[in-house]
Amino acid sequence: MEKLRKAIPKTVRLAVYDKCNHRCAYCGIPLEYKQMQVDHATPLRVGGEDDISNYLPACRSCNHYKATLDIEGFRDYLSKIHNRLMRDSIPYQVAERFGIVEHKSDEIIFYFEKLER
């Protein structure tokens, strides 16, 4: 059974916003406070807690694509995007052939991990 989400007080939201220097914990894009979404690093459905230690600031896009994945599940999802694009997108295949886009790596290092180093 999935845990119910509790409302996050503004003081906690502000602390989450500060965790990654006002940037998305995943992609690192700068965030305005009103744009930030609070993500559960470990989703409630797999035992994550409704606690600031489990909260990360996220942009709408990263929070949407991470959905109910944990950190490693999201990393795995992102690392396979190139393969999906090469399989499913003719414009992407053409763009890569002509050097318009370039696949650099499947290694995914999140912004919050770079901060921890």
According to the model, what pLDDT value does residue 81 have? 95
According to the model, what pLDDT value does residue 3 have? 59
According to the model, what pLDDT value does residue 21 have? 97
pTM of the model: 0.89
The answer to whether position 1 is within a domain reads: no
The answer to whether position 4 is within a domain reads: no
Domain extent at residue 50: 10-116
According to the model, what pLDDT value does residue 1 have? 53
- Strands, E assignment, 28-85: 37-40, 55-58
Would you say 16 and 36 are in contact if contact means Cβ atoms under 8 Å apart? yes
According to the model, what pLDDT value does residue 2 have? 53
Q: Domain holding 41: CATH number?
A: 1.10.30
Would you say 25 and 56 are in contact if contact means Cβ atoms under 8 Å apart? yes
Average pLDDT along the chain, 117 residues, taken 10 residues at a time:
74 98 98 97 93 97 96 97 96 96 94 94
